[in-house]
């Protein structure tokens, strides 16, 4: 009986607040999940270093604003550029040399890149948490009735949707996008057909990392404590979000992000005793999806045709 106390006693205002929290968290996961899914969709590789690229972007923002005192609008542009470059560099150093190697090698290289970034950050910036710079315009509180929203929580879903639309446009309606789709269908033939594989793949990572940077900025404003391991849990959860929605499918990643974000919040909302287990929710959903629909909700059902 007590188990359902939370469910029965919740007021409308509380529920609405929970929904707002859930959508805010969900769109944050969605933004980062898009980066994961994009790289997988084009290259059929899971970039485990994606979460750590988010972490590095947060540190870039910290340095830009708090140390060098560059105004935030310039710093954010700088952060996106710097992170995109970081993504391209990692691709060049850790993934390109293994392009013709079996898929496992590049996966392990990604894990290695992830550890490298984490420990580099630990060494350079020390393990002590730093505060992501506060941007009063975005972190101010807005009250709608009795529901409190941070300005950034309204911005995040908007940015997520815009990023989604821009990305879909690039992939479906531009020449570069067409080349990306060609590479994902069959990379050898694409090369033979005259597509510059190196450039296309670098472009993919640049776009993916730019998205990671945007996600990082949103994340940092919402949750200001930066540590070298900040990318681990979100990286894991956003990867799960991408898998839930169908890895390789951009719309699926957004769907997965929202499912995970809303689910996490509502589980704790309705069953407060389970608040210590909220992370387990993501992993349980992953197991269920892998059992019953391994290609994800919006994923294509691929069967090997002999």
User: Which residues here bind other proteins, judged by CB under 8 A?
Assistant: 6, 9-11, 13-14, 17-18, 21, 24-25, 122, 126-131, 134, 141, 143, 146, 148, 150, 223-225, 227, 229-230, 233, 264-269, 272, 275-276, 278-279
Q: Compute, in degrees rounded to 10, the torsion defined by CA atoms 46, 49, 53, 59.
A: 160
CB of 12 to other proteins, least distance (A): 11
Output 44 or 229, the one with its CB closest to other proteins. 229
CB of 232 to other proteins, least distance (A): 8
Strand partners, 142: 149
Bridge-based pairing of strands 141-144 and 147-150 is antiparallel
Contact 103, 45 (CB under 8 A): yes
CB of 240 to other proteins, least distance (A): 16
CB of 90 to other proteins, least distance (A): 23
Output 143 or 306, the one with its CB closest to other proteins. 143
CB of 10 to other proteins, least distance (A): 7
Rounded to 10°, the helix 232-245/278-292 angle is 30
CB of 274 to other proteins, least distance (A): 9
Output 119 or 172, the one with its CB closest to other proteins. 119
Output 198 or 279, the one with its CB closest to other proteins. 279
Output 87 or 263, the one with its CB closest to other proteins. 263
CB of 68 to other proteins, least distance (A): 18
Output 17 or 160, the one with its CB closest to other proteins. 17
Output 105 or 139, the one with its CB closest to other proteins. 139
CB of 153 to other proteins, least distance (A): 9
Output 81 or 229, the one with its CB closest to other proteins. 229
SS3 string of the chain?
CHHHHHHHHCCHHHHHHHHHHHHHHHHHHHHHHHHHHHHHHHHCCCCCCHHHHHHHHHHHHHHHHHHCCCCHHHHHHHHHHHHHHHHHHHHHHHHHHHCCCCHHHHHHHHHHHHHHHHHHHHHHHCCCCEECCCCHHHHCEEEECCEEEEHHHHHHHHHHHHHHHHHHHHHHHCHHHHHHHHHHHCHHHHHHCCCCHHHHHHHHHHHHHHHHHHHHHHHHHHCCEECCCCCHHHHHHHHHHHHHHCCCCHHHHHHHHHHHHHHHHHHHHHCHHHHHHHHHHHHHHHHHHHHHCCCCCCCCCCCCCC
């Amino acid at each position: 009986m007590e188990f359902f106390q939370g469910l029965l006693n919740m007021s409308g205002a509380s529920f609405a607040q929970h929904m707002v929290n859930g959508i805010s968290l969900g769109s944050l996961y969605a933004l980062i999940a898009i980066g994961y899914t994009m790289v997988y969709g084009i290259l059929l590789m899971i970039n485990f270093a994606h979460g750590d690229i988010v972490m590095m972007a947060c540190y870039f923002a910290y340095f830009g604003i708090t140390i060098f005192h560059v105004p935030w609008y310039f710093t954010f542009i700088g952060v996106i550029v710097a992170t995109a470059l970081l993504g391209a560099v990692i691709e060049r150093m850790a993934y390109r040399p293994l392009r013709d190697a079996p898929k496992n090698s590049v996966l392990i290289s990604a894990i290695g890149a992830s550890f490298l970034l984490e420990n580099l950050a630990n060494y350079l910036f020390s393990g002590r948490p730093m505060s992501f710079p506060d941007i009063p315009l975005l972190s101010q509180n807005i009250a709608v009735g009795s529901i409190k929203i941070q300005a950034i929580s309204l911005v995040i879903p908007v940015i997520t949707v815009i990023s989604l639309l821009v990305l879909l446009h690039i992939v479906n309606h531009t020449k570069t996008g067409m080349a990306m789709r060609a590479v994902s269908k069959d990379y050898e033939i694409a090369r033979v057909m005259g597509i510059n594989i190196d450039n296309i793949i670098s472009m993919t990572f640049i776009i993916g990392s730019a998205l990671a940077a945007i996600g990082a900025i949103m994340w940092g404003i919402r949750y200001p404590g930066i540590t070298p391991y900040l990318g681990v849990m979100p990286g894991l959860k956003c990867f799960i979000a991408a898998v839930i929605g169908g890895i390789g499918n951009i719309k699926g990643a957004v769907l997965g992000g929202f499912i995970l974000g809303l689910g996490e919040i509502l589980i704790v909302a309705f069953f407060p005793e389970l608040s210590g287990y909220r992370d387990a929710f993501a992993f349980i959903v992953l197991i269920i999806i892998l059992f019953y629909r391994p290609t994800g909700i919006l994923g294509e059902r691929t069967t090997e045709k002999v």
